[in-house]
Amino acid sequence: MSMLELYNGALNVPEIITRWYAQESDYNYGAYIPFIGTVREEDGIDGLSFDVYEPILTAWFETWQAKAASLGAKLKMAHSRGDVLVHQSSYIAAVFSPKRRVALETIEKFVEDFKASAPIWKYDLKNGQRLYAADRSTAIQGAGLLGSDE
Amino acid sequence: MVTIEFLGPIQKAPLTLEASSLRDVARVLKEDPEMAQWIENCAVAVNDTLVASLDTALQSGDKVSLLPPVCGG
């Protein structure tokens, strides 16, 4: 069973976090921390839209899963592709661990690295257009290789 | 021949070209005006693994992907 779920459109938050809770309830985890990302109303947008490159996203996620496993923890993640309207959710990350400290530290590092590294592209939906959110995007570590003279 | 694919917001159809290393790919893309705004900010993957050297060897059938700046969540 994959711990990484991709959906077309908005996430069904109650279904996902309840199902994840039930899936892990017998594994003696003392802590379950879901991070739920919601699209905010901002600059007159109708919503956001996402492109996802699944092969590299999966590899990135599996590297994190191994890191979490070495701490006795487990990660789950859900993300949208396509359009997600204001006040809907596009992203849920969750950590399960025996104790709270590992869970709190892991969810922070995981979500921050997600923002910097996961191969997902965001667009604003505004006035019927789909506009790349260039100014909120982060170049992946090692970017610029093709322009370098090494 | 290797295939170059452009991900996310780069509005460009895939290219196929002869290349024995990423250096050959860089040479071609640097001369492409459509790529001017992307060449300095894209990460590069070969067969879905991110790479860090222009000396990365390429073989016929390889897939090179360009990943522009990201913003998930």
Chain B interface, Cβ < 8 Å to A? 7-9, 22, 25-26, 29-30, 39-45, 48-54, 65-73
Please report the domains of chain B, with CATH numbers, ordered by start residue.
Answer: 2-63 (3.10.20.30)
Q: What are phi and psi of A55, to 5 degrees?
A: -60, -45
Q: Classify residue A13: in a domain, yes or no.
A: yes
CB B64 within 8 A of CB B46: yes
The confidence band for A149, taking pLDDT boundaries of 50, 70 and 90, is confident
Q: Classify residue A113: in a domain, yes or no.
A: yes
Chain B residue with minimum CA distance to A133: B71
What confidence tens digit (pLDDT) does each residue in B20-43 have?
999 999 999 999 999 999 999 999
Asked if residue A150 has pLDDT above 70, the reply is: no
Chain A residue with minimum CA distance to B40: A144
Position A148 scores a pLDDT of: 87
Under an 8 A CB cutoff, do A117 and B70 touch?
yes
DSSP track, B45-70: EETTEE---TT-B--TT-EEEEE--B
Q: Is A69 an 8 Å CB contact of chain B? A: no
Residues 21-50, chain A, touching B (beta carbon < 8 A): 37, 50
Q: Classify residue A135: in a domain, yes or no.
A: no
Chain A hits for B19, Cβ within 8 Å: none
Q: Report CA dihedral (A112, A116, A119, A124) to the nearest 10 degrees.
A: 90
- Domain membership of residue A70 as a residue range: 4-130
ipTM for this model: 0.95
* Number of domains making up chain A: 1
Under an 8 A CB cutoff, do A132 and B7 touch?
no
Position A143 scores a pLDDT of: 97
Give the CATH number for residue A24. Answer: 3.90.1170.40
Chain A residue with minimum CA distance to B43: A143
What confidence tens digit (pLDDT) does each residue in A75-119 have?
999 999 999 999 999 999 999 999 999 999 999 999 999 999 999
What confidence tens digit (pLDDT) does each residue in A1-59 have?
689 999 999 999 999 999 999 999 999 999 999 999 999 999 999 999 999 999 999 99
Position A83 scores a pLDDT of: 98
Q: Classify residue A141: in a domain, yes or no.
A: no
Q: Classify residue A79: in a domain, yes or no.
A: yes
Under an 8 A CB cutoff, do A144 and B40 touch?
yes
Q: CA B38 → CA A36, B4, B16, distances in Å?
A: 31, 14, 18
| The model's pTM | 0.95
Under an 8 A CB cutoff, do B69 and A140 touch?
yes
Under an 8 A CB cutoff, do A142 and B52 touch?
yes
Position A45 scores a pLDDT of: 97
